[in-house]
Structure formats: structure tokens, C-alpha cells
Amino acid sequence: MSSLEKLYALKLWPMDPEDPVAIKRFEDIVSLFRYLYENHGFFEEISKLNTLRIIDLMAGTGIAGAAIAKSLVGLGIVPELTLVDIRRSDLEKVYQWLRKARIEDKVKVELIESDIKELYLTLEDRKDYYDIALIWGNSSPHLDAWDMVRVYSNISYLLKPNGLLLMEEGDRIYNLLYLMGYKDFLIEGETKEGKLAN
């Protein structure tokens, strides 16, 4: 077992399909994607497509990829979902997410066990192939600044010219705000009491 697998075996992040916290997180991600589809111009264009190709990078259990797939199926779009992670055991869990969402027969899935920094070698034949790339969860802290440049280069290679990168950066909030000395901060959409604003 690699050191990365040992770290993730501690279950510090809610991404397991059997974890009630992860299930709530999945539902929240589905809601976020539905909101984006209804309110962002890019999604107005993609809603005209029959099929959408998504690549979920550093996918873990595929929680975000499965969530966006559920949202797309609800719009009548057939998602083709490629999940990439260095841990094959986690990747296999995407099928549990798809079953829970009742869309396992409506999504074409491909699992790729690969280091994201070397993705251009693994997917050399997929230049300008994907409509959407996802980096979701506590993924980016695994990479230093130089690695991130390589990752962005890989994403640029794989995305269509009008493709979209969706990236959750919640893991950096602590480092950017709290450690820099900010005592109080308000995240968009939340009240000072920590509740979501309407």
C-alpha cells in the first residue's frame, strides 16, 4: 500500500459512497451543478448537446464526476465520464455513486489509473476531446506550484477550445485566509452565523 493510499485509508475526507456526510456532500454538488446549468451561459450552450465528455481529474471515488453526470442526465444529456486517479481502489467506487444516483445505465464510464502530471502520455490521442474538466475536493494540495503548471498544461491539451475547467479550491481557504492572519471571513453565500444565505 502506497503512502497516499495509507493517507486516504484514514477517511479524512467525505467521499465514500457509504458515508452519510459524503452522501450529503454529493447532493450538495449535484445542487451546485444544477444551479450552474440554470445560471451560467456556458451551460446554456452545452445543454444543446446530446453527449458531453467530462474528465474528472484526481477523482478519488468520483463523487464530483458522478454528481455532474446526474445533473446532465436530468437535462437529457448523455455523459461520457472519464475518471483519473492514481488510486484504482478509489476509482472503482464511482459505480456505487452512479447506482445511488440511479444513473448507472445512463453514463458511459472510463477509469484511468494514472498520475495526473503524466496525463498527456496516457491520453495522448485525446487532444481537444473533453467539454469539461473537473478538479474537485482536497486535490490540489498534493501538488506543488510546478506540478500545477504541468496539470494545467495537461488540461489545456485535453479540453476543447471552448471547454471549461471546474475547480473546487476550498482546501486552500485555510491557508489563504486563516494562516495569513484574518480573524473573520465570510464565504459568498453564507451568513456570519455560518448558514447559507438565500
Quote the pLDDT of residue 197. Answer: 46
> Sheet holding 159-167: strands in order across?
108-113, 78-85, 51-57, 130-135, 159-167
**Rounded to 10 degrees, what is the CA torsion of 192, 169, 40, 36?**
-70
Q: What CATH code is assigned to 3-171?
A: 3.40.50.150
Q: What are the pLDDT digits (tens) for 59-82?
A: 999 999 999 999 999 888 999 999
Q: What are the pLDDT digits (tens) for 187-198?
A: 555 555 555 444
Q: What is the value of pTM for the model shown?
A: 0.80
CB 91 within 8 A of CB 62: yes
Q: Where are the alpha helices (DSSP H) in 93-163?
A: 94-100, 119-122, 145-158
- Mean pLDDT for the chain overall: 82
